[in-house]
C-alpha cells in the first residue's frame, strides 16, 4: 500500500520535475552563452573606438597609474592633454615627451591633493578647455597594513587619505564637467573597494566610495552623454604595490591600461583586465564575503608581521 502511494506521488511529480529541470538547463545554457558572448565582446573585440576627440579636444589626467600615463594612449588618439599631479618636474618631463612623440598640445597643473584649497587653481587652469575625457588616477594607500588605531599620526592620515582618494575625485569631476554635455570619466577605484579589506580599512573604504560615486553618477548622466566608469583593479606592478616582477595576475601598468581602455562604454563598473575580472567574479560570486574578509585579514597580518620584523632588523 505504502509503495503504491510513493509510486503514485512520483508519477504525479514526474511531469513538473521534468519541466523544472528542462527550464533550469535552458536558463543555464542561455545565461552561459550570453556571458560567453559578452565576455568576447568586452575582452576580445573591445571598444577601442569610443574614446576619440569627438568627445572634446582635451583629455585631463590626474597623475598616472604606476609609471604609465594613460595620457600616452590618449595622445596617440589625438587628444591635447592636461596633466595634473604633484611634482612640476615630473609633469614637465611627461609633457615634453608627449609633445615630441605625438605632436599634441599639453598643459600642466601642479597641485597637492592632500590639501583642499587646490580646486580654484585647477578650475582656472582648465578654464576654456573642452575636456572630453577625464582620468581620475590619484590615490594613496597605507605604507604597510596596520590596525586602524595603531596608524601613526592617525588624524592627518585620515584627512590626507580622504582628501586625496575621495575629495579629488568629486571635485575634479565637478570642475571638468559642470558645463559639458558629453564626455568620459574614468575613476580609478580598486578591487579593495569591492569588499572590506582589514588592515587597509581606510583605503578600502575610500575606494568603495569612489566605486559608489562613479556608478551613481553614471546612472544620473548616461542619458546626457556622459559615461562614468568605475575601474577596480586588483594588483598592478607599480610603486604603490612595490611589486617589481609582473605576472599574469599582477600585470605591468602598460598592459593593464591597454586592456582597461577597451572596456569603456561596455562596462560601467570593471576590473579592467581579463584575469582581474575572473578574480573579481570568483571573490564576489563564488566565495562568501566572510571568507574573503577572513583571508584578507590573514594575508595582511602576515604582511604586517614581515614588515615589522624587517623594520626591527634595521
Ligand X SMILES: NC(=O)c1ccc[n+]([C@@H]2O[C@H](COP(=O)([O-])OP(=O)(O)OC[C@H]3O[C@@H](n4cnc5c(N)ncnc54)[C@H](OP(=O)(O)O)[C@@H]3O)[C@@H](O)[C@H]2O)c1
Give the residue, chosen from 73, 106, 230, 238, that forms a contact with ligand X under the rule CB under 6 A.
238
Calculate Rg over the CA atoms of the chain. 24
Question: x-or-dash pattern for ligand X, window 187-226, by CB under 6 A?
Answer: -x-x------------------------------------
63 is a contact residue toward ligand X (CB under 6 A): yes
With contacts defined by CB under 6 A, how many residues of the chain interact with ligand X? Answer: 25
Spot the catalytic one: 72, 119, 142, 203: 203
CA 246 – CA 65 distance, rounded (Å)? 14
138 is a contact residue toward ligand X (CB under 6 A): yes
In this structure, the dihedral spanned by the alpha carbons of residues 242, 246, 251 and 257, taken in order and rounded to 10 degrees, is 70
Residue 137 · residue 62 · CB < 8 Å: yes
CA 70 – CA 264 distance, rounded (Å)? 13
Give the residue, chosen from 114, 125, 196, 275, that forms a contact with ligand X under the rule CB under 6 A.
114
Give the residue, chosen from 77, 90, 107, 304, that forms a contact with ligand X under the rule CB under 6 A.
90
For CA atoms 197, 202, 203, 209, give the dihedral sign: positive
Q: How far is the CB of 216 from ligand X (least distance, A)?
A: 19
Which range binds ligand X by CB under 6 A, 70-78, 86-94, 194-202, 214-222? 86-94
Kindly tell me which of 114 and 196 has the beta carbon lying closer to ligand X. 114
How many residues in total does the chain contain? 314
Within residues 140-159, the interface with ligand X by CB under 6 A covers: 140
161 is a contact residue toward ligand X (CB under 6 A): no
Kindly tell me which of 52 and 303 has the beta carbon lying closer to ligand X. 303
Active-site residue, 203 included: yes
CA 311 – CA 314 distance, rounded (Å)? 5
57 is a contact residue toward ligand X (CB under 6 A): no
Within residues 254-313, the interface with ligand X by CB under 6 A covers: none
Which range binds ligand X by CB under 6 A, 27-35, 84-92, 145-153, 296-304? 84-92
Q: How far is the CB of 238 from ligand X (least distance, A)?
A: 3
Residues that bind ligand X (CB under 6 A): 63-66, 85-87, 90, 112-114, 137-140, 164, 188, 190, 233, 235-236, 238-241
Enzyme catalytic residues: 203
Amino acid at each position: 500500500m505504502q509503495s503504491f502511494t510513493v509510486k503514485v506521488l512520483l508519477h504525479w511529480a514526474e511531469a513538473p520535475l521534468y519541466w523544472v529541470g528542462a527550464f533550469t538547463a535552458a536558463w543555464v545554457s542561455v545565461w552561459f552563452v550570453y556571458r560567453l558572448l559578452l565576455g568576447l565582446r568586452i575582452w576580445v573585440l573591445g571598444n577601442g573606438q569610443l574614446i576619440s576627440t569627438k568627445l572634446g579636444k582635451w583629455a585631463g589626467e590626474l597623475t598616472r597609474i604606476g609609471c604609465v600615463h594613460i595620457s600616452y594612449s590618449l595622445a596617440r588618439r589625438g587628444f591635447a592633454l592636461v596633466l595634473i599631479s604633484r611634482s612640476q618636474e615630473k609633469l614637465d618631463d611627461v609633457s615634453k615627451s608627449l609633445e615630441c612623440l605625438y605632436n599634441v598640445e599639453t598643459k600642466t597643473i601642479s597641485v597637492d591633493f592632500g590639501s583642499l584649497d587646490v580646486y580654484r587653481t585647477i578650475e582656472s587652469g582648465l578654464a576654456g578647455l573642452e575636456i572630453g575625457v577625464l582620468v581620475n588616477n590619484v590615490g594613496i594607500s597605507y605604507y604597510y597594513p596596520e590596525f586602524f588605531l595603531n596608524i601613526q599620526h592617525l588624524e592627518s592620515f585620515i584627512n590626507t587619505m580622504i582628501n586625496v582618494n575621495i575629495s579629488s575625485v568629486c571635485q575634479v569631476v565637478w570642475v571638468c564637467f559642470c558645463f559639458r554635455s558629453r564626455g568620459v570619466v574614468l575613476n580609478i577605484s580598486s578591487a579593495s573597494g569591492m569588499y572590506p579589506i582589514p588592515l587597509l580599512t581606510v583605503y578600502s573604504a575610500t575606494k568603495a566610495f569612489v566605486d559608489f560615486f562613479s556608478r551613481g553618477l553614471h546612472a544620473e548622466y548616461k542619458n546626457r552623454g556622459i559615461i562614468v566608469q568605475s575601474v577596480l583593479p586588483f594588483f598592478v606592478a607599480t610603486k604603490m604595490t612595490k611589486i617589481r616582477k609582473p605576472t599574469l595576475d599582477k600585470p605591468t601598468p602598460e598592459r593593464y591600461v591597454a586592456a582597461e581602455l577597451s572596456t569603456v562604454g561596455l562596462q560601467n563598473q570593471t576590473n579592467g583586465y581579463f584575469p582581474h575580472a575572473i578574480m573579481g567574479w570568483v571573490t564576489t560570486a563564488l566565495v562568501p564575503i566572510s571568507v574573503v574578509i577572513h583571508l584578507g585579514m590573514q594575508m595582511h597580518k602576515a604582511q604586517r608581521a614581515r614588515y615589522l620584523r624587517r623594520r626591527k632588523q634595521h
